[in-house]
Amino acid sequence: MQSNAEERKWFLRKMAEEAAEALRKNGFDAVCLVDRSELLPRISELLPAGSSVGFGGSRTLVECGVIDWLRAEKAGRGIELIDRDEPGISLEERGRRMKRALTADYFFSGVNGIGLDGSLVLIDGYGNRVAPVLYGPDHVILVSGANKITHDQDGALLRAKEYAAPLNSYRLKRNTPCTRTGHCHNCRSEERICNYTVVLNRDPYRGRIKVFLLGEELGL
């Protein structure tokens, strides 16, 4: 008899396969992976030596080890890592690095919701994550667990606003209504993290955005 874990793994894999097919029809270069163990070798194949690389805040990237891998590979591969989260840097320097990431060769990010209609949803507090995803870097690599897949764009938007945003606000210890109630109030708080909500319906530069869909639960 199958365990609940085996059934969940099967379900997530099937969702990832369907979402990847829909994303490919919309011009995204979508790839299904069994789990995070397959991710870093694929990224290593993609990333040329000497590339400049930026990244947005993403729990998924951290959980998959992408950020640590980039830091470890920086010297050996000659990567110019625009590390916005380097320990010890000032807020001013962090801001400068976020702006530099707009023109990096490669930009990494997670997503907040994926529709089975081939849509992607990202939310952002300051725009430094969604801006390079939309325009600037020649290569964008998005990583997501299959737990972020919903039926369609409306479901992906609902997931981003009602699930991901409150949980991330709580994780970041923001003083917002959603950290007190657990759901979105479309608030006017100065600490709101969902000031920008972006929907990607299609990649007009076919193949610029590569999406790795992992058949497991990652991020929030």
Q: What share of the chain is helix, strand, coil (3-state, %, to 5)?
A: 45, 20, 35
Cβ contacts of residue 183 below 8 Å, gap of 6+? 162, 166
Can you list the alpha helix ranges (DSSP code H) found in the chain? 4-25, 39-46, 59-63, 66-77, 91-100, 130-134, 153-159, 165-171, 177-181
| pLDDT tens string 122-142 | 999 999 999 999 999 999 999
pLDDT given for residue 145 in this prediction:
98
| pLDDT tens string 164-189 | 999 999 999 999 999 999 999 999 99
pLDDT at 1 exceeding the cut of 60: no
| pLDDT tens string 192-201 | 999 999 999 9
pLDDT at 2 exceeding the cut of 60: no
Supply the pTM of this predicted model.
0.96
Q: What fold characterizes domain 4-214?
A: Rossmann fold (3.40.50)
pLDDT given for residue 77 in this prediction:
87
| pLDDT tens string 48-59 | 999 999 999 999
Domain ranges (residues) in the chain: 4-214
Going by C-alpha positions, the residue among 63, 94, 97 that lies closest to residue 80 is: 97
Phi, psi torsion values for 97, nearest 5 degrees:
-70, -35
